[in-house]
């Protein structure tokens, strides 16, 4: 089975990160001492380095006290949701979006309400559509930039228009998932929510090191929040978990200090397989023009033309994914992201694997299209 479904890339650990972690462990061995235990909110130097990076990206006035280092992005996200949501609170999620939000919101007591966007206009989120979707019951709006699975990057002008709407709702929290921010093929860097004024102290960012900084498996994430909320989330983490191990934080610190170079290297590595996947999709039967995603390492491909018209959309989507798996290629069913008939395909794989996967996909899909 060839997998184009993994959320993790085929990236080597950045040498600067590996060296930093190795040095931290060697120090323990040389001193014959216990491994240092970090404060629950993270090592001060890593928190400051993260704050500095966000300040460089436009988050003027951000302090290290607003930054928490968490055991992966999901741990931080769940702790944050658990602090923000009360039972029955509504969470608005533009879709397609990462399937994991559904269960995290449910487990935190919230009710997730999708705001469907369409591929026809490249998943644009119009201010008027957002305003119409917000209700007095909406506690939280979640935005992903870049978006998983679509790869859509929302530019500064789009953010400004959306935040002009959210500013009209003083009790509304806005959460930006920015874990893929360093993997961008557009003309401008991915903007961060933290670069805009936060008049009601309601802006929050969740990110991590597994995607844009090639530290998959190291279990390091981060949350950036207004000070009071950051303290509450840290207290929850202290009661329910453990700090991120110091060697992993040392690796994260080195990666943070070299984030721009690491992101550029990943984009350079991904360039050939990105073009290969886009060309392979364009060569499939009945392919329409594919809008090249600006961010992440996924293409969210429209396979609705291959669905069985006699089945409900979600069931037909699942059937198509099973057919592809039977043909030897594992993909992510777009129905799990709110878009049945689409599939998420990763190009963060070896070129030989991608070439073979594309050939197998053609063998499965050509008879369906005939």
Specify the residue for token string 């009710």. 111
pLDDT at 30: 87
How sure is the predictor about 154, in pLDDT bands with cuts at 50, 70 and 90? very high
pTM for the structure as a whole: 0.96
pLDDT at 44: 98
How sure is the predictor about 33, in pLDDT bands with cuts at 50, 70 and 90? confident
pLDDT digits (tens, 9 = 90+) for 38-97: 999 999 999 999 999 999 999 999 999 999 999 999 999 999 999 999 999 999 999 999
pLDDT at 235: 98
pLDDT at 370: 67
pLDDT at 288: 79
Q: Residues of the chain with pLDDT > 90: what percent?
A: 94
pLDDT digits (tens, 9 = 90+) for 209-266: 999 999 999 999 999 999 999 999 999 999 999 999 999 999 999 999 999 999 999 9
**Cα angle, residue 331 at apex, residues 329 and 337 outer, rounded to 5°:** 170
């Amino acid at each position: 089975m060839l997998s184009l479904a993994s959320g993790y890339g085929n990236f080597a650990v950045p040498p600067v990160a590996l060296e930093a972690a190795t040095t931290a462990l060697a120090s323990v061995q040389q001193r014959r001492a216990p491994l240092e235990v970090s404060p629950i909110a993270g090592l001060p130097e890593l928190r400051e380095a993260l704050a500095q990076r966000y300040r460089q990206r436009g988050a003027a006035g951000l302090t290290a006290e607003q930054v928490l280092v968490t055991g992966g992005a999901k741990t931080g996200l769940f702790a944050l949701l658990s602090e923000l949501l009360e039972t029955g609170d509504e969470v608005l999620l533009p879709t397609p979006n990462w399937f994991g939000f559904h269960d995290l919101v449910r487990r935190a007591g919230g009710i997730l309400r999708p705001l469907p966007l369409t591929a026809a206009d490249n998943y644009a989120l119009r201010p008027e559509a957002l305003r119409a979707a917000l209700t007095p019951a909406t506690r939280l709006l979640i935005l992903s930039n870049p978006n998983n699975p679509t790869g859509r990057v929302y530019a500064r002008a789009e953010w400004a228009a959306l935040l002009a709407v959210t500013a009209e709702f003083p009790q509304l929290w806005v959460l930006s998932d920015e874990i893929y921010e360093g993997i961008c093929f557009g003309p401008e860097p991915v903007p961060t929510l933290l670069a805009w004024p936060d008049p009601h102290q309601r802006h929050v960012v969740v990110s991590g090191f597994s995607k844009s900084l090639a530290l998959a498996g190291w279990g390091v994430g981060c949350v950036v929040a207004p000070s009071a909320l950051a303290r509450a989330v840290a207290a929850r983490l202290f009661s329910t978990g453990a700090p991120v191990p110091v060697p992993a934080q040392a690796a994260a610190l080195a990666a943070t200090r070299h984030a721009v170079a690491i992101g550029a290297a990943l984009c350079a590595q991904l360039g050939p397989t990105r073009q290969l996947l886009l060309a392979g999709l364009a060569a499939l039967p009945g392919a329409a023009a594919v809008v090249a995603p600006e961010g992440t390492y996924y293409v969210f491909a429209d396979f609705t033309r291959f669905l069985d018209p006699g089945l409900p959309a979600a069931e037909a989507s699942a059937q198509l994914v099973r057919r592809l798996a039977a043909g030897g290629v594992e993909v992510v069913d777009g129905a799990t992201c709110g878009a049945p008939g689409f599939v998420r395909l990763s190009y963060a794989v070896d070129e030989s694997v991608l070439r073979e996967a594309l050939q197998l996909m053609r063998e499965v899909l050509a008879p369906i299209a005939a």
